Chain A
Amino acid sequence: MSDTGEKNNIRFLKRLALSSLLFLAAIAGIVILFDPFYHYHAPLGNMKAVLQDRDWQVAGTLDHFSYDSIVLGNSLVENTNTHWIEELYGNQAVKAIRAGGSNAELCFYMDRAFEAQKLERVFYCIDKSILCADPSATLDGFDYSFLLDRNPLNDGKYLWNKDVLLKKIPLQLACNTVLDYDEGEAYDWYRTKTFSAEAMIIHYEPAESFEEMQPVEELLKYLPENLRMLKERIKAHPETEFVLFFPPSSLLWWDQELRGGELEADRELLRRLSTAFSDCDNVKLYAFFAEETYCELDNYMDVSHFSPEVNFKLFEDMAAGRCIMTKENTEEGIARMDERIRRFSSEEIRDYYPEAVLLPDPSPAP
């Protein structure tokens, strides 16, 4: 090869390397500047926080936002508007949501929040699926796991990511300019859903028989460890008020539990929950039993997911001191709930499922 050819080739390779680096650096710079997952910083200037990808954004918001309380939980609290918390409690809240999450995963988020901020309140939605989930669950191994660690070496997946560059940043800009975006509604999903008895009964088919009650200890095998993990954190942060609430469920969910033989375990779970934190002064425990708004099928999109109106009422009731769960009132609440479920499963369910098998003996179990 001639010297000129060799020179041209070397110059080409150098230019290619340099210009590729420049392009890649420019892309990384844009991502760091807008930072749609808030991995590096909170929204710049007056920009709104656009939160629509919970798994990718929760860690960043907990690390970099300014707040004094968090809303922890699964999809049931996703429709909670953080502005309500400001109105009802006077707290600046961010949401730490894990759809279908376990207590262990949510405790990871809680720890992350405590590392970043001094928290006045933790609102934690503890339903059966959270409290009975495997306590060894972790957030490792997911597409977004690299955003959870603090290792800058694996940030490439974020800095050079087509979705981030062409979808998330433009969306962030659009929400800050032309679209009417409410920051308080982070991760909400209600807009595309229909909340009505008619729509929600499609998602449930009553079983044709009522199973024997299943062994409570087997169903609640993870509960002690989950309660221990939670209590450990409560004890470690006496200055923080923990607002723990067992969310409501539709009558169809309770019917499902009754037919599946899990109702006794649910009762026991509530009993244990009512006593678990009795020695913690910084805990307020709430449960929502048989009130009509909470049972009404028209407020649900499926057996367990309720409308934002229910979300609001939850927080309103808690702020007003209603629906507090204590060791003393739990049995009465359970009995009330039991009676309501049995009435539904032995009679009212036919309004929705004319062929449904009715509960043969509607008298409450001892």
Chain B
Amino acid sequence: MLFNSAIFIFAFLPLTLLGWYGLNRIKLHRPSLWFLCAASLFFYGYFHPAYLILILSSIAVNYLFILALRHIRKGRKALLVLGITANLGLLGYFKYTDFLIGIINDLAGKDYPLKNILLPLGISFYTLQQLSCLIDTYRTPEKALRFDEYAAYVCFFPQLIAGPIVLSDELIPQFRDLSLRRFDSGRFSKGISLFILGLAKKMLIADLFGRVVDFGFEKIYWIDTPSAWMVALCYAIQLYFDFSAYCDMARGLASMFGFSLPENFDSPLKAHGIREHWSRWHMTLTRFFTRYVYIPLGGSRCGQFRTAFNIFLVFVLSGLWHGAAWTFVIWGALQGLGVLYSRRKHFRLKEGFVSWFFTFVFIVISQMIFRSGSIDFMLRMLKAMFTPAGVHFFPELCSCLAVVPEFYMITRAVEALAPQYSAYVCIGLLAVLLLIAAFLLHGRNARQLVEDEAAKGWRFRFTLLLALLFACEVVSLNQVSTFLYFNF
């Protein structure tokens, strides 16, 4: 099920909230957690019920590993290795089989057929989450964990499909805190506000930029220099608003149920360096790799060269985690190099507009590689970006906005009254969109906005703005698209 769907907003969410608070109100605390698990699994299996078998098996097997790690004294390390291998094996099978077959075919000149395995929704996220719990249990086996708590921790629907990657220490104590299970109007108000703002980011902004990006990549063989830069810029904005939207919605939904999920996104496009960018972008993924890969590898304790190698490796792995293609590996490697550059003490840019600008350009270019999907497309885009190739395609690129409902009246009126200006109007519309995005990126983020409004007692104009945004979102539900981070 998607957050941006009528069935979720008008049926699933209200019924689940009703069930959750209703059961807790009559003191059925454990059944309420089971209810939350069942609702989350319904949410997960709505489109592909077959995936339920996979996630349920994964939860059951991991819980057995956790029980074993807690209760046995000998061979715990071997058990942990086995548990990690089982999780990575499952993820590897679904995510990397075809990638590996492709590499073998390329290297050995063979033609083994690809398996075309469909990637189960959210497997990258719930695998990391379960790995973190497994490793934490190995480190601190004395912490007890009930199956219903563990199942709810893994499949709690706000974070199930695209994160944030929550640690068991963050969520399970909240499940145990019965005071959080009483309806709290403050938490609920903040939650619903974050959800509406997040939904607006996705449906009213990210999807608009997504049209330009999709059109640009569809016509990549005709793309010119300004169009290639525009597509790359639009993708950076789309990805930002898309993922930021999801994080806001996830946190908002959790808050509506009384829980708090960790911050995953903190205005990353305001960063003045790649290191800072990664401390603001997908923060829980960065945390996962730092805790469970970088530090066990030695972190920064083993000399400069080893530290650099560890950082680089972590980002290459992060690239691979995002997708099974060489473009993701290259993107990860570039991020690693960017972070290494940011760590230098010498030749660093002073924090200011220039450092922000270069960071932003680096992000735009590297995320274009991230979007490319294949080396061929990546090279075409890079060639178009860095080899002057005219402006022949640019008006056509902008004209893809002509059919967007938001601009339809304007573009049709211009077409009817002054068709010679149609292309200019579309360029103008894209410029306006970019200005709006710049304004939003520059201002306070959704979390700050909601906190401020709560502190001011929820001003009426903010309430009206939220209601208007919600109405716009409801009418946009007929144009459902999936979140970009579902693909990873």
A joins B in a complex: yes
Known: A15-B460, A170-B409. A160 touches B477 (CB 8 A): yes
Residues from chain A with a CB closer than 8 A to the CB of B413 are 174
Residues of chain B contacted by A15 (CB below 8 angstroms): 458, 460, 463, 467
Q: Is the CB of B189 within 8 A of A12?
A: yes
When A and B form their complex, what is the total count of cross-chain residue pairs whose Cβ atoms lie within 8 Å?
88
Any B CB within 8 A of the CB of A156: yes
Q: Which of A3-11, A218-226, A351-359 lies at the binding interface? A: A3-11
Instruction: Digitize A1-32: 1 where CB-to-B-CB distance is under 8 Å, 0 elsewhere.
Output: 10011101111110110011011100100000
A165 CB–B CB distance under 8 Å? yes
The answer, among A5, A16, A163, A165, for a CB contact under 8 Å with B463, is: A16
Which residues of chain B are near A365, meaning CB under 8 Å? none
Interface 1/0 per residue, B402-425 and A, CB below 8 Å: 000110110011001000000000
Say yes or no: A162-B460 contact (C-beta < 8 A), given A20-B470, A171-B412.
Answer: no
Q: In chain A, what residue has the closest Cβ to B403? A: A167
Instruction: Render A85-126 as a binary contact track against B, CB cut-off 8 A, 1 for contact.
Output: 000000000000000000000000000000000000000000
Are A170's CB and B412's CB within 8 A? yes
Chain B contact surface mostly: helix
Q: Is A350 an interface residue (CB 8 A)?
A: no
User: How many A residues touch B, CB cutoff 8 Å?
Assistant: 32
Cβ of A275 < 8 Å from any Cβ of B?
A: no
* A179 to B458 Cα, complex, angstroms: 46
Contact of B471 among A1, A4, A27, A179 (CB under 8 A): A27
Q: Is the CB of B470 within 8 A of A23?
A: yes
| Neighbour of A11 across the interface among B458, B468, B476, B478, CB < 8 A | B458
CB < 8 Å neighbour of B186 from A6, A27, A156: A6
Are the C-beta atoms of B478 and A16 separated by less than 8 Å? no
User: Which size bracket describes the interface of B in this complex?
Assistant: 20 to 34
Chain B: CB-nearest residue to A24: B471
Inter-chain contacts of A167 with B (CB < 8 A): 405, 408
- Cβ contact within 8 Å between B189 and A13: yes
Given A13, A23, A161, which contacts B478 in the complex, CB threshold below 8 Å? A161
Shortest Cβ distance from A163 into B: residue: B405
Contacts of A236 in B (CB 8 A): none
Indicate if the CB atoms of A156 and B471 lie closer than 8 Å: no
A27 touching B189, Cβ below 8 Å: no
Q: Does B72 contact A (CB under 8 A)?
A: no
The one of B416, B464, B476 in contact with A178, judged by C-beta atoms closer than 8 angstroms, is B416
Asked if B326 CB lies within 8 Å of chain A CBs, one says: no
Q: Nearest Cβ in chain B — how far from A102, in angstroms?
A: 27
Cβ B186 vs Cβ A161 within 8 A: no
Q: Is the CB of B408 within 8 A of A13?
A: no
A171 to B457, CA, bound (A): 42
Question: In the complex, A156 Cα to B477 Cα: how many Å?
Answer: 10
Q: Point out the residues of chain B lying under 8 angstroms from A193, CB to CB.
A: none
Residues of A within 8 A of B475 (CB): 27, 160-162, 165
Tell me whether A23 and B471 are in contact (CB under 8 A).
Answer: yes
Indicate whether A228 reaches chain B with its CB closer than 8 angstroms. no
> Does A44 reach chain B (CB closer than 8 Å)?
no
A322 at the interface (CB under 8 A from B): no
The chain B residue with its CB closest to the CB of A6 is: B185
Tell me the bound Cα distance from A170 to B471 in angstroms. 19
Evaluate whether A9 and B408 lie within 8 angstroms (CB atoms) in the complex, with A23-B468, A23-B471, A24-B474 already known. Answer: no
A162 & B405 in contact (Cβ 8 Å cutoff): yes
Contact B185 A10 (CB under 8 A): yes
Contact A19 B478 (CB under 8 A): no
- B6 engages A1 (CB within 8 Å): no
- Nearest B residue to A161 via CB reads B478
Complex interface bits, A313-339 against B, C-beta within 8 A gives 1, otherwise 0? 000000000000000000000000000
Closest to B456 in A: A8
0 or 1 for each of B15-48: is its CB under 8 Å from A? (1 = yes): 0000000000000000000000000000000000
| A178 contact set on B, CB distance < 8 A | 416
Say whether A13 contacts B185, CB under 8 Å. Answer: yes
> Is B471 touching A20 in the complex (CB atoms < 8 A)?
yes
Q: How far is the CA of A298 from the CA of B184 in the complex (A)?
A: 74
Rounded to whole Å, the gap between the CB of A161 and the closest CB of chain B is 5
Residues of chain A lying within 8 A (CB to CB) of residue B466: 16, 20
Are B408 and A1 in touch, CB under 8 angstroms?
A: no
- Judge whether A156 and B6 touch: CB under 8 Å: yes
Which residues from A are CB-within-8-Å of B448?
A: none
| Residues of chain A in range 159-194 having any CB-CB distance to chain B below 8 Å | 160-163, 165-167, 170-171, 174, 178-179
- Tell whether, in the assembled complex, residue B474 and residue A160 are in contact, meaning their CB atoms are under 8 Å apart: yes
| A233 within 8 Å of B (CB atoms) | no
* Interface membership of chain B positions 127-161, coded 1 if the CB is closer than 8 angstroms to chain A and 0 otherwise: 00000000000000000000000000000000000
A216 to B342, CA, bound (A): 76
Q: Is the CB of B405 within 8 A of A19?
A: no
In the complex, A1→B184 CA distance in Å? 9
Interface residues of A in 138-163 (CB under 8 A from B): 156-157, 160-163
Nearest residue (CB) in B for A26 is: B471
* Alpha-carbon gap, A19 to B463, bound state (A): 8
Among B188, B454, B467, B477, find the residue whose CB has the most chain A CB atoms closer than 10 A. Answer: B467
C-beta contact mask, B176-216 vs A, less than 8 Å → 1, else 0?
A: 00000000111011001000000000000000000000000
- Measured CA separation A167–B406 after assembly (Å): 8
Which B residues lie at the A interface, using CB under 8 A?
Answer: 6, 184-186, 188-189, 192, 405-406, 408-409, 412-413, 416, 454, 457-458, 460, 463-464, 466-468, 470-471, 474-479
Sample (25) of A-B pairs whose CB atoms are under 8 Å apart? A9-B188, A9-B189, A9-B454, A11-B458, A12-B458, A15-B463, A15-B467, A16-B467, A22-B467, A23-B471, A27-B475, A157-B478, A160-B471, A160-B474, A160-B477, A161-B475, A161-B478, A162-B406, A163-B478, A166-B405, A166-B408, A166-B409, A167-B405, A170-B412, A178-B416
Known: A12-B463, A170-B408. 19 other contacts (CB 8 A): A1-B184, A1-B185, A6-B186, A8-B457, A9-B186, A9-B454, A9-B458, A13-B185, A15-B460, A20-B471, A157-B6, A160-B471, A160-B475, A161-B478, A162-B406, A162-B475, A162-B476, A162-B479, A174-B416
Binding site for B on A (CB under 8 A): 1, 4-6, 8-13, 15-16, 19-20, 22-24, 27, 156-157, 160-163, 165-167, 170-171, 174, 178-179
